[in-house]
């Protein structure tokens, strides 16, 4: 069985007779036209990000978006093109990060995490040119990318002894995580996607406790900013992982985490702007931005 076929089976298994859900074979339909700019943040061909800007004048709130795909090279940035454009058309600057994944030259520990971090921090170098308001930055992502979004917010908690430590990471003001997969320990135990976590992390939690402590958002919780977690009610494979993170962060006393159940979504409908789930996805993101705007006004910006 191919990797894509295996992932499809894991992500969209549903009872016979149920309404057909989107699967990985449908992702090509979510590609879009070229971005406003494609900007390199490193020397590797995969170290780049798509920048899409609204047609209205800036400065713009910024959505850092990280695509998913089980951390595997089989799934690249193209499948979130329509999502990027839909958010840009709605008034957000979208900085969508590509990164080296398992199966890519240089992918895996620590480079996959380093790429996402460097991509996010590169916004500082282009903010002036593109009128990006770095006081209104939301980290967002889907599936593995949702885990990265939570991790980007939690980077100040990474110990200085870690290979992932950065002294002054870009500050993330809120997180918007769709079908997030932040519990690397549990996913390693379950052997998801042909044991991808073992390949991503270079071994097990027992062998590399320090790596998991610095990379797993479940271990870094609470992440310290407002979070909205979108979970598909029909996403039997990954929905429980997102709900478990929500339960943990609330148990730790963090009331800033909010869970949004998307009743008509499996794993992929939530990233499809043409789906019935998209209006609820967009409303949830707009509410986060409104919260940031209120906070900015309160401090006299």
pLDDT for 193-219, tens place per residue? Answer: 999 999 999 999 999 999 999 999 999
Share of the chain residues as helix, strand and coil, in percent rounded to the nearest 5:
45, 15, 40
pLDDT at residue 20, as a whole number = 86
Average pLDDT on 216-229 reads 96
Considering the entire predicted model, what is its pTM?
0.92
Average pLDDT on 146-159 reads 98
pLDDT greater than 70 at residue 299: no
For residue 100, name the pLDDT band (cuts at 50, 70, 90). very high
pLDDT at residue 293, as a whole number = 80
Angle between helices 111-121 and 123-130 (to 10 degrees): 30
Q: Which residues contact 1 (CB under 8 A, 6 or more apart)?
A: 9
Q: Is 195 helix (H, G, I), strand (E, B) or coil?
A: helix
In contact, 228 and 177? CB cutoff 8 Å: yes
Could you read off the pLDDT of 65-79 as tens digits, one per residue? 999 999 999 999 999
- Give the other-Cβ count within 10 Å of 171's Cβ: 13
pLDDT at residue 9, as a whole number = 39
CATH architecture of 35-298: 3-Layer(aba) Sandwich (3.40)
Average pLDDT on 228-254 reads 96
Least confident of 143-147, 187-191, 239-243, 289-293: 289-293
pLDDT at residue 6, as a whole number = 38
Q: Where are the domains of the chain?
A: 35-298
Q: Which of 179, 182, 151, 208 is nearest to 272 (CA)?
A: 179
> Which residues on adjacent β-strands are paired with residue 94?
52, 63
Report the distance separating Cα 158 and Cα 166, nearest Å.
8
For residue 296, name the pLDDT band (cuts at 50, 70, 90). low
pLDDT at residue 291, as a whole number = 85
Least confident of 10-24, 135-149, 233-247: 10-24
pLDDT at residue 3, as a whole number = 41
Catalogue the E-assigned strands of the chain.
37-40, 48-52, 60-66, 93-97, 132-142, 174-178, 226-232, 257-262
Could you read off the pLDDT of 2-49 as tens digits, one per residue? 444 334 334 433 333 356 899 888 899 999 999 999 999 999 999 999
Least confident of 74-83, 87-96, 287-296: 287-296
Q: Which of 45, 193, 217, 53 is nearest to 145 (CA)?
A: 217
């Amino acid at each position: 069985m191919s990797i894509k076929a295996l992932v499809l089976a894991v992500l969209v298994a549903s009872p016979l007779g149920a309404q057909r859900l989107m699967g990985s074979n449908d992702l090509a339909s979510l590609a879009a036209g070229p971005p406003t700019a494609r900007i390199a943040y490193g020397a590797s061909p995969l170290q780049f990000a798509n920048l899409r800007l609204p047609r209205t004048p800036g400065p713009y709130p910024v959505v850092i978006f990280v695509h998913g795909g089980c951390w595997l090279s089989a799934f690249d940035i193209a499948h979130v093109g329509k999502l990027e454009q839909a958010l840009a058309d709605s008034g957000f600057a979208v900085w969508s990060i590509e990164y080296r994944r398992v199966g890519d030259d240089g992918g895996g520990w620590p480079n996959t995490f380093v790429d996402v971090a460097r991509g996010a921090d590169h916004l500082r170098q282009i903010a002036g040119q593109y009128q990006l308001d770095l006081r209104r930055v939301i980290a967002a992502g889907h599936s593995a990318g949702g885990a990265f979004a939570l991790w980007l917010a939690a980077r100040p908690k990474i110990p200085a002894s870690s290979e992932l430590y950065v002294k002054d990471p870009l500050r993330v003001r809120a997180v918007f995580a769709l079908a997030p997969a932040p519990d690397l320990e549990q996913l390693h135990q379950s052997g998801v996607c042909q044991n991808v976590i073992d390949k991503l992390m270079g071994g097990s939690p027992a062998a590399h406790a320090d790596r998991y402590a610095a990379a797993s958002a479940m271990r870094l919780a609470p992440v310290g900013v407002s979070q909205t977690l979108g979970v598909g009610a029909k996403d039997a494979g990954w929905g429980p992982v997102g709900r478990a993170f929500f339960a943990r962060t609330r148990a730790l006393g963090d009331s800033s985490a909010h869970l949004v159940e998307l009743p008509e979504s499996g794993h992929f409908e939530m990233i499809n702007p043409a789906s019935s789930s998209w209006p609820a996805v967009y409303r949830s993101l707009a509410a986060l931005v409104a919260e940031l705007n209120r906070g900015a006004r309160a401090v006299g910006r």
